Amino acid sequence: MENDDVDAIVAAWRRERPDLDVQPLEVLSRVTRLARHLDQARAQAFDSHGLDGWEFDVLAALRRAGEPYSLSPGQLTTQTMVTSGTMTNRVDRLVDRGFVQRSPDPSDRRGVRVQLTEAGLLAVDGAFTDLLKREHSLLDSLDERERSALAELLRDLMGQFSR
């Protein structure tokens, strides 16, 4: 196995601070560097379809909801982890671009639903297909067994944040 930049950083810290256990750097520095590559791949996928990351997030939440691809603003706020004011602004901008439309909530006269338009559906589906191609290429060096093992380890690690 070939050494990488993180190995050099860890070795330097071990030399300079032998009193500290720097082993977490071996994992988390690599996760940080991988996240940068993933962010770049995501940005390229979205940009090639004329979308910003936040636009994809909102459109993807609606797409995942299934037909009729509609959610309340509150549901969108929860799924995208932004404030209600931010979501109002985002929906306004997506309405202006023709990607979503607002309509009255049939089950609540005071409520509103946000629904994907045909243009929004085409945009999110195209960007998602492109994103998956790019993400597959990021994992090309791992076989299926290794990918599954890595996914399980990361799930276990993330568990501490969902309790």
- What pLDDT was estimated at residue 124? 97
Cα gap 94→13, rounded to integer Å: 47
Residue 156's domain comprises 5-161
CATH at 95: 1.10.10.10
Quote the pTM value: 0.84
pLDDT digits (tens, 9 = 90+) for 76-87: 999 999 999 999
pLDDT at res. 18:
97
What parts of the chain have a pLDDT lower than 50? none
Per-residue confidence (pLDDT) for residue 1, from 0 to 100: 74
- 112 in Cβ contact with 103 (< 8 Å): yes
Q: How many structural domains compose the chain? A: 1
